[in-house]
Amino acid sequence: MKDAVGTYTLSGLRNFTGGDLDVNMQKATLRLGQFNGNSFTSYKDAANRTTRVDFNAKNISIDNFVEINNRVGSGAGRKASSTVLTLQASEGITSDKNAEISLYDGATLNLASNSVKLMGNVWMGRLQYVGAYLAPSYSTINTSKVTGEVNFNHLTVGDKNAAQAGIIASNKTHIGTLDLWQSAGLNIIAPPEGGYKDKPNNTNSQSGAKNDKNESAKNDKQESSQNNSNTQVINPPNSGQKTEIQPTQVIDGPFAGGKNTVVNINRINTNADGTIRVGGYKASLTTNAAHLHIGKGGINLVQSSRVGRFFN
């Protein structure tokens, strides 16, 4: 479909677990979910395979829900391994205000375009079943290949769980409302001076990184771990710290962000109280960007009814 023109719709592709999918329509517009949502996921098995789905178009519009690495089946469903969804658009990537993007444990979303404007809620570390409250969750959004501004109208991290989320950012990231629920952690990694460095295409990409995250965290070598978009995070020379990017985890070893890197957040909502006690929550937001601006919405402590149900 490389030479296709016009507008094409992918709607109602639910629980895709069929392995790698590569759709190339560089001259056309792709609408995801015009009539129904789409979900791309994987199965946890002995092989721990990673599902990789790539869409390349002139424009990409998300009109309905998108789920990444959701469980399949009734009840708790079958555990997923890891899924990487890559959206590339030469002009722009947008989402409707009612189009929710959900990243479950083991999900990576790569975005590459001139600009990204997501009006619907983007939910990192979302839960699917009650028994997952105590299970940690890791998810990543990679926007390092966006040349212009990345705009999240509403970003939610956590869902009564210890969700850890990472955004590999471009130079300018804007978040309208950020919800950090309970013990959620969000790390926004801004590019260093000079930008990120590309790895050669013949370099083997990582797979099944979720199973290796503990070993990788103990590795003290001066290396940068490659993500699925062939982007390598540059570490300062002679630095004892490093940053590793995996399909399901971001481990921060903060190098300095470039002098023009900016993170704007208009409003932060959290129900973490920051105390060290039984039943307490401590949410975290970290970034290496040169400039972090909290807007007039400020930081708001929200008393959620979900807290009482969890601990009673």
In the three-class reduction of DSSP (H, G, I as helix; E, B as strand; rest coil), residue 22 is classed as strand
- Give the pLDDT confidence score for residue 273 in this predicted structure: 56
Report the C-alpha gap between 42 and 59 in whole angstroms.
26
- Residues of the chain falling short of pLDDT 70: 73-77, 129-134, 198-254, 272-280, 303-312
Where exactly are the structural domains of the chain?
6-199+223-311
Query: How far is the C-alpha of 170 from the C-alpha of 141, rounded, in Å?
Result: 11
| Predicted pLDDT of residue 10 | 95
Quote the pLDDT of residue 222. 30
User: What is residue 279's predicted lDDT score, i.e. its pLDDT?
Assistant: 55
Query: What is the structure's pLDDT at 249?
Result: 43
CA angle 124, 128, 134 (to 5 degrees): 80
Predicted structure pTM score: 0.80
Q: What is the pLDDT of residue 132?
A: 58
Contact 68, 38 (CB under 8 A): no
53-71 pLDDT per residue, tens: 999 999 999 999 999 998 8
Asked if 107 contacts 248 with a C-beta cutoff of 8 angstroms, the reply is yes
| Model pLDDT, residue 216 | 36
Exposure class string for 162-201: b at 16+ Cβ within 10 A, else e: bbbbbbbbbbbbbbbbbbbbbbbbbbbbbbbeeebeebee
pLDDT value at residue 243: 39
